[in-house]
Homo-oligomer: A and B are copies of this chain.
Amino acid sequence: MLTDMPKNRARLLVSCQDRAGIVSAVSTFLFQYDGNIVQSDQYSTDPEGGMFFMRIEFDINLEKTSFLALKKAFQEIASPLNLEWSMTLAHQKKRMAIFVSKEDHCLMELLWKWKSGELYVDIPLVISNHSDHQKSVEAYGIPFYHIPVTKQTKIEAEQEAIDLLKQNQIDFIVLARYMQILSPLFVQTFPYQIINIHHSFLPAFIGANPYAKAFERGVKLIGATAHYVTNDLDEGPIIEQDVLRVNHKYTSSDLRIAGRHIERIALSRAVQWHTSDQIIVHQNKTVIFS
């Protein structure tokens, strides 16, 4: 997991059309630059013309080669192989913004995990369309922005949020039970950088009031789904799902309370994988290197 992230630990994500020789080319490159591979996972959808995905964690000698120089050099082998790739330093924390509405269980989980060192991120701000959680957030020393949203002010409100996110150089956004649908403009500003927690086992119970629907249908398990936000409501790439056993005694309100557990767990895992560059999105699905 995270504690004591070494300064010289780097991560490489690669996706491309499958072909022979990619692992060899990449690992030889890293070896030439004194990289020591600590962990690697590689997966092909189909050896005959499918996709190839790879994640490598490696240690490098930053005194000999700067990270910028390494990336530049890698681009030279990546281009002829048509690799899509990204390379990050593990100890450089991503900057995460949290959006929240009235329910605070997901927010508090993330804040607590951040404070206790379980979540390796910076949290420059929390944005909410309600002011309820201002005090709790500020108690953690994190700026809280109350941006009310109405039908009439939605565009301006979103612009205000975007401005704040840019000023704060936010890398990704977590919708921790934020009960507003984001506009296409907002979504495309942060492509696959917005994580939402939906309180059902998608694709069951898309849309509003999933617990009420689950109660109606009489399901024996309730679920939660963390996914990247796209312009199709609750249809983005699924990152993580979890379920909990319930029974006929649960009222709709009981389901809602019980579901908080799995919402927190599924969202936490998704956020952790995102912060550790463990996710590649491909065609509305996720490859998770866990």
Task: Give A contacts to B, CB under 8 Å.
Answer: 1, 3, 18-24, 27-28, 30-31, 34-44, 47, 59, 104-105, 108, 112, 116, 118, 139, 201-205, 217-221, 223, 237-243, 245, 247-249, 253-254, 257-258, 260-261, 265, 284-288, 290
User: What is the CA–CA distance of A288 and B201 in the complex, to the nearest angstrom?
Assistant: 22
Q: Which residues of B contact A237 (CB under 8 A)?
A: 218
Whether A27 contacts B23 in the complex (CB less than 8 A), given A108-B112, A204-B201, comes out as yes
Query: Nearest residue in B to A253 (C-beta to C-beta)?
Result: B3
Q: Could you tell me if B248 and A221 are in contact, using CB atoms closer than 8 angstroms?
A: no
Partner among B217, B260, B261, B265 whose Cβ is within 8 Å of the Cβ of A238: B217
A121 to chain B, nearest CB (A): 15
Return chain B residues, CB-CB under 8 Å to A108.
112
Q: Judging by beta carbons under 8 Å apart, are A218 and B20 in contact?
A: no
> Main SS of chain A's interface residues?
mixed
Q: Say whether A257 contacts B42, CB under 8 Å.
A: no
Contact at A286–B218, with CB atoms within 8 Å? yes
- Residue of chain B at shortest CB distance from A213: B203
Q: A218-B285, A220-B238, A265-B261 are in contact. Are A254 and B1 (CB under 8 A)?
A: yes
14 contacts between A and B (CB under 8 A): A1-B258, A20-B37, A23-B30, A37-B42, A104-B116, A118-B260, A201-B221, A201-B223, A218-B285, A221-B223, A245-B245, A247-B288, A247-B290, A248-B288
Closest-by-CB residue of B relative to A30 is B24
Indicate which residue in B3, B20, B27 contacts A24 across the interface (CB closer than 8 Å): B27
Q: 18 new A-B pairs (CB below 8 Å) besides A20-B36, A203-B205, A218-B286?
A: A1-B258, A20-B37, A23-B23, A24-B28, A38-B44, A104-B116, A118-B260, A139-B139, A201-B201, A201-B221, A201-B223, A203-B217, A204-B204, A217-B238, A217-B285, A218-B284, A221-B241, A247-B290
How many whole Å from A22's CB to the nearest CB in chain B? 8
Nearest chain B CB to A244 CB, angstrom units:
10
Query: CA–CA, A204 to B223, complex, Å?
Result: 12
CA distance A40 to B41 in the complex (A): 6
